[in-house]
Amino acid sequence: MVHIEIKCNRNNFLRNIGSVIVLKFKKGDMLLLLIILIAGVSYFGLKFLYRDTVEKTAVISVNGKEYDRINLDKLTDEKTIHIDLGHGKYIHIIANSEGVHVSDVVCPDRICVKTGIINRVGESIVCLPNRVQIFIEGSEIPEVDSVSQ
């Protein structure tokens, strides 16, 4: 009888300690969860804001003159741009949801093809021998401008 009582008390004691530990652990967990949640929300919030206010445009220029502009955000299908550079030379550019790249070119170094896909603001592909440049420009959406005016 006595032995059972002691055992019972000990179990209660352990259970109490256990619940205190669980409670503390849960508090710490919740704080950590809250921090992760806040960080996550602000990260995606900033990403969303950035996406909403900046438009990406691929600007293609030949001989220093603007040849074409492709709004990458409004691009639904793949767009191909074939530029005849004269004397049998040409450059073939593909723009799609992944970005912009030179798929084919008559070019001695072919660095433009080797550059691969560009899709971030500020990135560029340069074909020096043909004097062709593709540059990704970031611009604010006009709606934002009208609000600030």
Q: Under the rule (CB under 5 A), what is the footprint of Zn ion?
A: 107, 112, 127
Residues 30, 60: contact at Cβ < 8 Å?
A: no
- 47 φ/ψ angles, rounded to the nearest 5 degrees: -60, -45
* Smallest gap from residue 79 Cβ to Zn ion (A): 20
Pick 83 or 127: Cβ nearer Zn ion: 127
Complex with Zn ion: residue 54 or 110, whichever CB lies closer: 110
Q: In terms of C-beta density within 10 A (0-12 exposed, 13-18 middle, 19 or more buried), how is residue 123 classed?
A: middle
Query: At a CB cut-off of 8 Å and minimum separation 6, what does 140 contact?
Result: 53, 54, 55
Q: State the nearest-atom distance from the C-beta of 110 to Zn ion, in Å.
A: 6
CB nearer Zn ion, residue 70 or residue 83: 83
To the nearest whole angstrom, how small is the minimum distance from the Cβ of residue 112 to Zn ion?
Answer: 3
